[in-house]
Amino acid sequence: MNTGLPANVHELADLRNRIQVFRDRTHAGQVLAEVLTAYRDSDALVLGIPAGGVPVAAVIARQLHLALDVAVVSKITLPWNTEAGYGAVAFDGSVRLNERLLPQLGLSAQEIQQGIARTLDKVTRRVGRLRGQRPLPPLAHRPVILVDDGLASGFTLHTAREALSKAGADHLIVAVPTGHWESVQSLAAEVEALYCPNIRQGWSFAVADAYRIWSDLDEEEVMALLEGFAEQSPGT
């Protein structure tokens, strides 16, 4: 049942508004793979957003026998709270700011530009570390499944969507284990399909609340996941 959601949103109704429904990111990837079986053994490309989206994406790609890569996007965080952000920067250098939120934050123009510059440096470093000089695989005329470990405000995924569309993706699918109701509806309007097993409503939303085991990943762990996938999946 998809009551109250756009027709292109796919959820698991028995998981709606529940917390701690996934053991960890691996389990979340397994649940998503089950609802993405239509793409098994296809030419679909799975793109994980580092860091937390990569372990979810790797499970999906492995279970469905799909190609795996990364789409480096990072939120622009607040000076006093690195968990909260006011925008995001994508792998192509594009920037998206939360113009509705900015007036409430009291940030100066200089502080905003400094935040953008720091985030751009981070994205550039991650692209070099995780992708090197490799160009993006061909994106046009194939399903591109963009994966993160959750959808809170949605700015990271909106920014990723914009950058991938500019890069040629014309069949973009988003797959996230958990997401806020309003953000799911907003992003669904911009993509072909959105898969989110655990959709939650309410004023307060934290991605981590969907998981029983939660920790941040560093770039070394992401590299190890990508290298491990490549070793186990020589055919991709």
Q: What is the pLDDT of residue 84?
A: 80
How many whole angstroms separate alpha carbon 12 and alpha carbon 177?
10
Residues 192-204: what's their mean pLDDT?
Answer: 96
pLDDT of residue 213: 97
Q: Are 164 and 145 in contact (CB under 8 A)?
A: no
- Provide mean pLDDT across the span 37-47: 98
Domain 9-73+139-230 falls in which CATH fold?
Rossmann fold (3.40.50)
% of the chain surpassing 70 pLDDT: 97
Closest to 184 (Cα-Cα) out of 213, 141, 154, 162: 154
- How many Cα atoms are found within 13 Å in the side-chain-facing hemisphere of 52? 22
* pLDDT higher than 70, residue 233: no
Distance CA 210, CA 25 (A): 10
Reading across the β-sheet that carries 172-175, which strands appear in turn?
A: 9-10, 193-195, 172-175, 144-147, 45-48, 67-70
* pLDDT, mean of residues 99-103: 90
Is the pLDDT at 1 greater than 70, yes or no? no
Average pLDDT over residues 2-31: 94
pTM comes to: 0.93
CB 71 within 8 A of CB 226: no
Query: Has residue 209 got a pLDDT over 90?
Result: yes
What confidence tier does 141 reach under pLDDT thresholds 50, 70, 90? very high
Find where tokens 């920037």 sit: 95
**Tell me, what's the pLDDT at 230?**
85
Residue 133 pLDDT > 60: yes
Q: How far is CA 142 from the centre of its chain?
A: 19
Q: In this predicted structure, what is the pLDDT of residue 28?
A: 98
Tell me the C-alpha distance between 179 and 21, whole Å.
Answer: 13
Q: State residue 197's pLDDT score.
A: 98
At which residue do the structure tokens 């985030």 appear?
Answer: 119
For strand 67-70 and strand 73-78, is the pairing parallel, antiparallel, or unpaired?
Answer: unpaired
Residue 235, pLDDT > 70, answer no
Average pLDDT over residues 61-84: 92
Split at pLDDT 50, 70, 90, the class of 156 is very high
Q: In this structure, which amino acid lies at residue 127?
A: V
Where residue 92 falls among pLDDT bands split at 50, 70, 90?
Answer: very high
Helices assigned H by DSSP within the chain? 25-35, 53-64, 102-105, 109-130, 155-166, 181-188, 219-232
What is the average pLDDT score of the chain?
Answer: 93
- 48 class by beta-carbon count within 10 Å (0-12 exposed, 13-18 middle, 19+ buried): buried
| Arithmetic mean of pLDDT, 131-146 | 94
Alpha-carbon distance 31 to 27, whole Å?
A: 6
Q: Where are the domains of the chain?
A: 9-73+139-230
pLDDT at 236 exceeding the cut of 60: no
